[in-house]
């Protein structure tokens, strides 16, 4: 009988999927604006531009709303987890083993911090591009370099994330944690032993 | 699977708050790049440009962003298309595409700057000089400026006569050795490398000589009338160096008549 451990709360999962939805919406509309071949294919540039800008606003507002209306205390706890690196996390990053991991491994923690920073940078550079069209005080020669540069790095991280979550045989079980919320206890003990040991008590079959 | 027997170093070491460090450093680095991003990117892309240009056919963007002001781009019909030169001229001219191609052809390599901050280095243009059109139409002495009308309504823009007579201003019908693509303004666009892209009117089908400049499409939305690269629209040459004067390729520069 397989036992499952609850890894992600409803608030965490909602936040993740709304974040993903917003990211892909912005990626799709952004690429249409960015790639000439797509621009020509789709046309309707003013519409796509509005869609892109307002998706960005909606994305950030939705994330803030979920954080406010959801399990705030749980999210703060999660943020602290992501912030904290113990000696094993440092060993994990240096590829030393054994390095038993908690609910998040050190790579996931770095990924989370980077993506949070990218959200801020996307928002700031996007707003500057938007305002810069109307007022030269907001126009900087490097805004577009920043917006595009963050896009490239975020896309590379996303590719790694999708590979690990969907394809890599050893890790793709984690997708279950982000969809239904629970993961196989044996899998958790193998990949996140420090967390699995602590939460096995409230496990449900 | 058994619990790890020992956790080296975890006994005495206190957990570190590296997460916020990564976050803050990334945000700070990103925001500060507003001051240095463009010049660093210029060096990087300068260093890799030989590689990049050989890869260009395979890269999806090539650095260009395609901007249109209306929902769709004008369609070029070779049979019916005309370039009209009118206004303050002795002899209004209406050229077919083939007649345009029959004019003396010049080539140049110049850099294209967009006012939003992106730049495409070393674009190969082929086309005609305005002076060769003037030889046909003979502008009147009171013609002090040119109005460029795009087939994409209501896009127009203006240049003063001295601006239009800068040595590397051209009507380009070739880009990178191929006929100008539709998204770049087929069949012909204005190229003035010293000024930001919004002055480089695409889908050009009418040039009117007028006495003085007026506000073009983007000028009416607050952009500068004289769109000098690095010296207009809030840019200073420290944030973006002025466009280098491009070298004509394949053809010697022609003299300009003064009027």
Residues B55 and B76 in one domain: no
Residues B135 and B191 in one domain: yes
- Looking at B59, B89, B111, the residue that finishes a domain is B59
Chain A neighbors of B22, CB-CB under 8 A: 110, 113-114, 117
Residues B154 and B48 in one domain: no
Q: Is A118 on the interface with B (CB under 8 A)?
A: yes
Looking at residue B245, its pLDDT comes to 46
Looking at residue B139, its pLDDT comes to 96
**CATH number for the domain that contains residue B244:** 3.90.420.10
pTM for this model (two decimals):
0.70
Residues B25 and B150 in one domain: no
- Looking at B10, B36, B59, the residue that finishes a domain is B59
Looking at residue B198, its pLDDT comes to 95
- Mutation target among B19, B65, B240 for the A interface, most CBs of A within 10 A: B19
Which residue in A185, A195, A121, A198 sits closest to A153, CA to CA?
A121
Helix residue ranges per DSSP H, chain B: 18-55, 97-102, 130-137, 161-164
B212 occurs within a structural domain: yes
- Segments of chain B scoring below 50 in pLDDT: 1-11, 57, 239-259
Chain A neighbors of B27, CB-CB under 8 A: 117, 120-121
B256 occurs within a structural domain: no
Which residue in A140, A61, A78 sits closest to B116, CA to CA?
A140
B144 occurs within a structural domain: yes
- Mutation target among A145, A148, A192 for the B interface, most CBs of B within 10 A: A145
B13 occurs within a structural domain: no
Whether residue B117 and residue A189 make contact (CB cut-off 8 A), yes or no, is: no
Residues B101 and B212 in one domain: yes
Whether residue A116 and residue B60 make contact (CB cut-off 8 A), yes or no, is: no
CATH code: domain A4-196 is 1.20.950.20
Whether residue B30 and residue A124 make contact (CB cut-off 8 A), yes or no, is: yes
Residues B149 and B241 in one domain: yes
- Looking at B59, B82, B113, the residue that finishes a domain is B59
B107-144 residue pLDDT tens: 999 999 988 777 888 899 999 999 999 999 999 999 99
Interstrand relation of B145-150 and B170-175 (parallel, antiparallel or unpaired): unpaired
B104 occurs within a structural domain: yes
Looking at residue B68, its pLDDT comes to 81
User: A78 to chain B: nearest residue by CA?
Assistant: B19
Looking at residue B50, its pLDDT comes to 58
B64 occurs within a structural domain: no
Chain A neighbors of B72, CB-CB under 8 A: 43-44
**DSSP states of B99-125:** HHHHSPPEEEEEEEE-TTS-EEEEEEE
Residues B81 and B52 in one domain: no
Domain count of the fold of chain B: 2
User: A83 to chain B: nearest residue by CA?
Assistant: B19
Residues B51 and B164 in one domain: no
Residues B122 and B205 in one domain: yes
B155 occurs within a structural domain: yes
Give residue B157's domain range: 71-249
Residues B125 and B41 in one domain: no
Looking at residue B242, its pLDDT comes to 47
Whether residue B16 and residue A39 make contact (CB cut-off 8 A), yes or no, is: no
Looking at residue B46, its pLDDT comes to 65
Q: Is B92 on the interface with A (CB under 8 A)?
A: no
Q: Is B16 on the interface with A (CB under 8 A)?
A: yes
Residues B240 and B164 in one domain: yes
B66 occurs within a structural domain: no
Looking at residue B13, its pLDDT comes to 66
Chain A neighbors of B68, CB-CB under 8 A: 43, 45
Residue B138 and residue B176 in contact, taking contact as beta carbons nearer than 8 Å: no
Q: What's the average pLDDT block by block, 10 residues per block, for chain A (205 residues)?
A: 92 97 96 78 82 96 96 96 95 92 96 97 95 81 88 95 96 96 95 88 52
Residues B227 and B103 in one domain: yes
């Amino acid at each position: 009988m397989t036992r499952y451990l609850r890894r992600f709360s409803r608030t965490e999962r909602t936040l993740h999927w709304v974040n993903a939805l917003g990211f892909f919406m912005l990626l799709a509309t952004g690429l249409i604006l960015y790639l000439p071949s797509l621009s020509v294919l789709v046309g309707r540039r003013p519409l796509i531009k509005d869609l892109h800008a307002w998706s960005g606003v909606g994305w950030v507002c939705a994330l803030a709303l979920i954080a406010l209306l959801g399990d705030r205390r749980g999210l703060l706890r999660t943020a602290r987890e992501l912030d904290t690196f113990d000696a094993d996390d440092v060993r994990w990053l240096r590829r030393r083993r054994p390095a038993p991991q908690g609910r998040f491994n050190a790579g996931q923690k770095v990924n989370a911090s980077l993506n949070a920073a990218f959200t801020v940078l996307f928002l700031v550079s996007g707003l500057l591009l938007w305002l810069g069209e109307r007022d030269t005080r907001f126009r900087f020669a490097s805004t577009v370099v920043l917006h595009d540069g963050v896009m490239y790095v975020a896309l590379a991280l996303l590719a790694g994330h999708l590979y690990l979550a969907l394809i890599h045989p050893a890790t793709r079980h984690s997708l279950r944690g982000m969809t239904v919320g629970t993961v196989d206890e044996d899998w958790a003990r193998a990949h996140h032993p420090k967390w699995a040991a602590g939460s096995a008590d409230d496990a449900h079959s | 699977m058994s619990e790890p027997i020992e956790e080296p170093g975890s006994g005495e070491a206190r957990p570190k708050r590296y997460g916020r460090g990564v976050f803050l450093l990334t945000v700070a680095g990103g925001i500060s790049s507003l001051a240095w991003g463009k010049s660093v990117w210029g060096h990087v892309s300068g260093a890799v440009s030989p590689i990049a240009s050989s890869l260009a056919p395979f890269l999806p963007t090539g650095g260009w962003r395609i901007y249109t002001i209306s929902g769709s781009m004008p369609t070029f019909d070779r049979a019916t298309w005309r370039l009209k030169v009118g206004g303050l001229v002795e002899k209004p001219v209406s050229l077919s595409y083939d007649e345009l191609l029959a004019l003396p052809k010049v080539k140049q390599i110049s850099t294209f700057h967009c006012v939003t901050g992106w730049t495409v280095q070393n674009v190969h243009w082929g086309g005609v000089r305005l002076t060769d059109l003037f030889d046909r139409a003979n502008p009147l002495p009171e013609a002090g400026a040119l109005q460029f009308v795009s087939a994409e309504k209501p896009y127009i823009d203006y240049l003063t006569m001295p601006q239009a007579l800068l040595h590397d201003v051209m009507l380009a019908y070739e880009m990178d050795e191929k006929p100008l693509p539709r998204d770049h303004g087929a069949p012909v666009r204005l190229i003035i490398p010293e000024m930001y892209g919004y002055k480089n009117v695409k889908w050009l089908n009418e040039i009117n000589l007028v006495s003085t400049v007026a506000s073009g499409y983007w000028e009416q939305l607050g952009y500068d009338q004289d769109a000098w690269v690095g010296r207009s629209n809030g840019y200073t040459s420290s944030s973006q160096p002025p466009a280098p004067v491009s070298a004509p390729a394949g053809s010697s520069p022609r003299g300009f008549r003064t009027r």
